[in-house]
Amino acid sequence: MIPESRVQLPAVRRSWPVQLCLLFSLVCLLFSTGCILPGRRSPGRTVLETRTVLPARIISNFFVVESKLADGRTYRFIIDTGSTATLVSPDLAKKFAAKERRGSPRSKIHVRSASGGEIDLESITLRQLNLGDALFERVPALIFDFTDLSGHLGMPIDGIIGFPVFRDTLLTMDYPGQRLLIASYPTVTPPPPTQSPRLSTIAFNNEQSTPLIPIQMGNESFIVLIDSGSDGSLSLNPVGLHPHFANGPRVGTLISSLQGDHRQLTGRLNQDVLIGAHTIEKPVVDLTDQLSSIGGEFLRHFILTFDQRRNQVTFVRDADGAVTMEPRRSTGLSFARAAVYWRVLTVIPDTPAASLAVQAGDLCVRINGELVAQWNYERYAALVKSADKITFTLLAGTRETDVEVPVFELVP
């Protein structure tokens, strides 16, 4: 799945604009119920002397870090504040899962999709999980296959680390500096930070083991989930609110939910959104019928520090003035990525692509004359951001056909 589509990650309480397989999206949705991991969700013990710092990469607005684990191998994780669950690959689980009692089967989580498909996910306890010098012992987790997500990002993903893992630490996600800081709590309580135009400290509700904060749209306040496991901006549930739009809302990509598939509505607000003292100027939003949330497209402008003892989050900017969001550019197509081809998943209606000889199911083997294997996520995203048109080579049997697709502003 490629830039103009949206990926869903676990434990958010809503549907997402999804262009991965339906099963993946709905597994994620059912993780949001808050009952997939009855009882303990956080580590049995956390060991950290002072603090540790890890470099991060912001890929498709996801916060990705690498850490060398006890077997000497480096693993790659997404930090997901919107998830109550930690997910790990079968390979990682095989190496680090605590041994079960002899004859005792692992417990499983039963998940049903909107299409009627079902899957069981095994629940395990990791003996240990370390991020740099921070060691988390006996971490509850679920085993999940990240093949589709890894294909989307163009790199192997070994796990998604949920918010409860950081219960006993100060967690800082520095998006502009692309680094993760995990710190132990000081023995002496420091004075509260002084509020400034660049810094805001906001209390969050952590009753469901994910951070919920109030934000303001125009003169209306509402609650949102801080969800670093989303690549979107503001997913807005308009019920009870009165959003005004400068552009749209218009039909966007296909999303999957427990009620079935439907088209995403997206647009640009004619109102500013306030997060503490920070102003996001007329942001691009995606409408949802689930809990409103702010994702990576919003969060990437900030340094966020989460304090789960005091249930506070601090937003810091390294610049003055309002946050502005660029237009959302698109070809009108979204893809599922494979090694030798990209399969067209959707063609957005009422776009230039809809009048061309391309449809869902078509296989793309070249982009601007280069094999799709040469196009990782970041390179393709840069192309969509800058190009006026893109030539896709489609394969039908043994015949290749070039289709020139204009790039346009889906949301100006």
191-200, 265-274, 337-346 — most confident range: 265-274
pLDDT for the residue numbered 22: 29
Instruction: Convert the pLDDT of each residue in 240-278 to its tens digit.
Output: 999 999 998 998 876 654 444 567 889 999 999 999 999
Instruction: Convert the pLDDT of each residue in 71-104 to its tens digit.
Output: 999 999 999 999 988 999 999 999 999 987 655 6
Please say whether the dihedral angle defined by the alpha carbons of residues 205, 210, 215 and 220, taken in this order, is positive or negative.
negative
> Tokens 């100027």, residue?
281
194/405: higher pLDDT: 405
Instruction: Convert the pLDDT of each residue in 8-64 to its tens digit.
Output: 444 332 222 323 332 333 334 334 333 344 456 788 889 998 999 999 999 989 999
When pLDDT is cut at 50, 70 and 90, the band that residue 237 belongs to is very high
> Tokens 């698109």, residue?
330
Q: Which of 365, 345, 315 is nearest to 25 (CA)?
A: 345
Q: How far apart are CA 383 and CA 253, in angstroms?
A: 19
Evaluate if residue 376 carries a pLDDT over 90.
Answer: no
Query: Which domains are delineated in the chain?
Result: 16-183 (2.40.70.10), 201-324 (2.40.70.10), 328-411 (2.30.42.10)
Least confident of 137-141, 317-321, 381-385: 317-321
Evaluate if residue 192 carries a pLDDT over 80.
Answer: no
Least confident of 181-195, 198-212, 285-299: 181-195
Evaluate if residue 105 carries a pLDDT over 50.
Answer: yes
pLDDT for the residue numbered 405: 96
The mean of the pLDDT values for the chain is 84
176/26: higher pLDDT: 176
* Angle, CA of 139, 50 and 37, to the nearest 5°: 15
Instruction: Convert the pLDDT of each residue in 275-328 to its tens digit.
Output: 999 999 999 999 988 899 999 999 999 999 999 999 999 999 988 889 999 999
pLDDT for the residue numbered 345: 85
Average pLDDT over residues 208-223: 96
Share of the chain above pLDDT 90, in %: 62
When pLDDT is cut at 50, 70 and 90, the band that residue 194 belongs to is low
